[in-house]
Amino acid sequence: MTSYGTIPTSSSPGPSTNLEYISRAKERIKTGLGTRRPWKLIFNFHSFGIPASVADAIARVRTNVAFFRMNYAIVALLILFLSLLWHPISLIVFLVMMAVWLFLYFLRDEPLVVFNRTIDDRVVLIVLAVLTVVFLLLTHATANILVALLIAVVVILVHAAARKTDDLYFDEEATGFMTGVGGSTA
């Protein structure tokens, strides 16, 4: 038997497998952050105004939260992170739990299997959320966490209510049509 013209491959897990995992993880992070809207669009001061009524404010909040959800999540996490700067143990727990979330929930390619049983994503989500809250509460930073979350909710609601929704486009076709595909965005 000859192996002329074939390229030898290695089936043992090694550096190429690790590089594959890292590249898939980077791609998933880019995809997840791809739903983030440009910060310039969020802070476009010409798009702010007082809502005409409570119904208008509620409609703006619903639209803006749906449109800017990734940006709002980043803002909330940043506020929580900043509130934990004075509690180093809580900050370490927060960062460790973020890493656990990344590897067990966001960056997984295949279902989680524990003791030869497949664990549903909803179960993983609930368990990770409960563990995150419990571990952060065990660090005795409860007041900081609650105040940070309250501040985040207030900041997000104020922005969402004040930001007009006239210039937001949900589908790519409308965005491409309004910006002129291949043209400049004047």
Question: Please, which pLDDT band fits residue 132 given cuts at 50, 70 and 90?
Answer: confident
**136: number of Cβ within 10 Å:** 21
- Convert the pLDDT of each residue in 10-39 to its tens digit: 555 555 666 676 676 667 666 655 556 778
Please, which pLDDT band fits residue 61 given cuts at 50, 70 and 90? very high
> Under DSSP, is residue 32 helix (H, G, I), strand (E, B) or coil?
helix
- Residue 104 in tokens: 């067990």
- Please state, in angstroms and rounded to a whole number, the distance separating the CA atoms of residues 35 and 66: 11
What pLDDT, in 10s, does the model give residues 77-128? Answer: 889 889 888 888 988 998 898 888 878 877 777 888 889 888 887 788 788 8
pTM: 0.63
Contact 145, 81 (CB under 8 A): no
Predicted confidence band of residue 9 (pLDDT cuts 50, 70, 90): low
Q: What is the mean pLDDT of residues 137-161?
A: 90
Percent of the chain residues past pLDDT 70, beyond the cut: 72
Distances from the Cα of 4 to the Cαs of 1, 7, 10, 11, in angstroms? Answer: 9, 9, 17, 19
Is the pLDDT confidence value at 50 over 80? yes
CA distance 101 to 105: 5
What b/e string do you get for 35-64 counting C-beta neighbours within 10 Å, with b at 16 or more? eeeeeeebeeeeeeeebeeeeebeebbebb
